[in-house]
Amino acid sequence: MKSIAKSWLRGEPAGRDVKVASDGREPSLVEVLLMLATIFVLHLWTLWRVRNFWDVAAFWGDNRPYLRIVDIIRNWHFSGGERPWHFWGFPYAIAGISKLFSIPGLMAVVMISMLGSLAVCILVHRLYGGWVAAAFLFMNYLWIIGSVEGGSEPLFMCLLYAAFLSVRSGRWNIAALLASLGTTVRPVGVLALIGFAIVLIRRKSYRQLAAITLIGLAIGVLYAVPLRIILGSPFENFSAYRGDWGPQGWPLTYPLGALVPSFFTTWAEFRWPNLVMGAVWVFMALAGSVAMWLPRHREKWSMHQPEALFTSMYSLFFLSYNYSDIAYYFPRFLLPVAPLLLFSLRDWIPKDRRVLWGGAALSALLSTAAVVGFRNVFGFRLP
């Protein structure tokens, strides 16, 4: 028990259950799920007081473009107009759930997002413990919005963290399949596959490396064929993104090269909370990524190298992302690695349930304010 308390996570041989370190006071899975339910109820209650939920969900975020892709999938035909640039993994799930349960596409969006959020909560608790799972629920109110109004992040993270859990059990083929499916939802999922490959190369497990490579290629081909048939190009998604990548059309620049100028744009066009939240998550990305490679933590993370490699590559990617509005979207982009960053900075998480529950309630209200306006929720405007 003493050795467990000294480390965050105790590694287990492949195939055995993963044990999460506990100081005896960590929030249980039941408590974390109760916190999640409370957040959802509070968010929906404050939202319904102002507007109809389905009216909000229909126009929130990327829901409309995703539902348009669902129509293309159902008809197996692109009728013209603006070409879709979002990846199709999420729309495939929407189309499947909508057909299976005979429900409208928008309802399928919300259903997938809420169930995905529930699954992510369980996976994070299993992988990183109760403090990290509880803190993750309220550290970024955009997660609440994406979980309730709908978004691709819950599905992507569900597949990603299920892949990490599979790796810890030595099930590399399942992990590669899950990460590959996640890549069809969010293309940055390929970084998890790269992390798996690096670890296997270092272990000289070339047969297993060949197996996960074939799995990744197979999913990639199955994804690209419909794009080729319907849109005329298997690389249509990447071509559509190029318009956001500056004059040169390259997705990456040097670290902070686009982020710093974007902060000045955010300061001029948006309110100060957007700037503060973006700055906080830039600090989280830098501090969390560095912390996992420091000597005092290196031994713990060395047992879980795929997760550490993914976090570092993912954070570096978005710190170098060549997008003019990167500062505004950075907190959302960092959601997939938020639990990993929190795990690196676990000592900073307040071990006080009053803080956790109070933060959860505040985050639920802030998430509603981001949707219907700050004054409609709190009764006054921000300065």
| DSSP string for 349-376 | S---HHHHHHHHHHHHHHHHHHHH-HHH
- What's the whole-number mean pLDDT along residues 238-264? 81
Residues 127-151: b if buried by 16+ CB within 10 A, e if exposed:
bbbbbbbbbbbbbbbbbbbbbbbbb
User: Residue 266: pLDDT above 90?
Assistant: no
pLDDT for the residue numbered 234: 84
| pLDDT tens digits, 275-332 | 788 888 889 899 888 888 887 766 667 778 899 999 999 999 999 999 888 888 899 9
The values of phi and psi at residue 249, to 5°, are 75, 25
Chain length of the chain: 383
Q: What are phi and psi of 19, to 5 degrees?
A: -100, 130
Which region among 56-65, 135-144, 170-179, 265-274 has the lowest average model confidence (pLDDT)? 265-274
Tell me the average pLDDT across 176-191: 97
In the predicted structure, residue 7 carries a pLDDT above the cut 80: no
Q: What is the mean pLDDT of the chain?
A: 88
Nearest-angstrom CA–CA distance, 9 and 303: 9
* Residue pair 155/117 in contact by the 8 Å Cβ criterion: no
Segment 349-361 mean pLDDT = 92
